[in-house]
Homo-oligomer: A and B are copies of this chain.
Amino acid sequence: MEQHGERYERGLKALQHISGDTEPSVLTSLAGIAPDLGRYIAEFGYGDLYTRPGLEPRDRQLVTLGALAALGNAAPQLRFHINGALNAGCTRAEVVEALIQIAAYAGFPAAINALKHAEAVFAEIDAKA
């Protein structure tokens, strides 16, 4: 097995915390087709960016929810970060508020579709509980 460096380990730890999963799905999902992209996500996306000290994880999740809900073309990642926002300390009500706010900046369809993803993520969590 490939030896991973410090950036990877730091990123993996952050990714595990955000996902609430010891084997984050983004890494297993890419293992077959592009494992290096999975490694970059851990190293750069989380080891470099996400763990920078200047902004709290909860704040980074709010920025990310804004970005993904506005783009409206990345459903799996939006679902991942709706869950991630909860794991970083947002309440469900705050996630809902953040997504309602999107109506002003990207229109009603973006907000509606994001909220339907939130509803599905919350239901999955409840089903597991």
- Chain A residues in the interface with B (C-beta under 8 A): 26, 29-30, 32-34, 36-37, 40-41, 44-45, 48-50, 52, 54-55, 59-60, 62-74, 76-77, 93-94, 96-113, 115-116, 118-119, 122
Evaluate contact between B100 and A36: CB separation under 8 angstroms.
Answer: yes
Evaluate contact between A74 and B72: CB separation under 8 angstroms.
Answer: yes
Given A63-B63, A65-B63, answer yes or no on A34-B105 (Cβ-Cβ < 8 Å).
no
Evaluate contact between A96 and B54: CB separation under 8 angstroms.
Answer: yes
Could you show 7 A-B contacts with beta carbons less than 8 Å apart? A34-B100, A37-B108, A60-B101, A63-B101, A71-B109, A73-B113, A104-B107
Which listed residue (B45, B76, B101, B113) contacts A74, Cβ 8 A?
B113
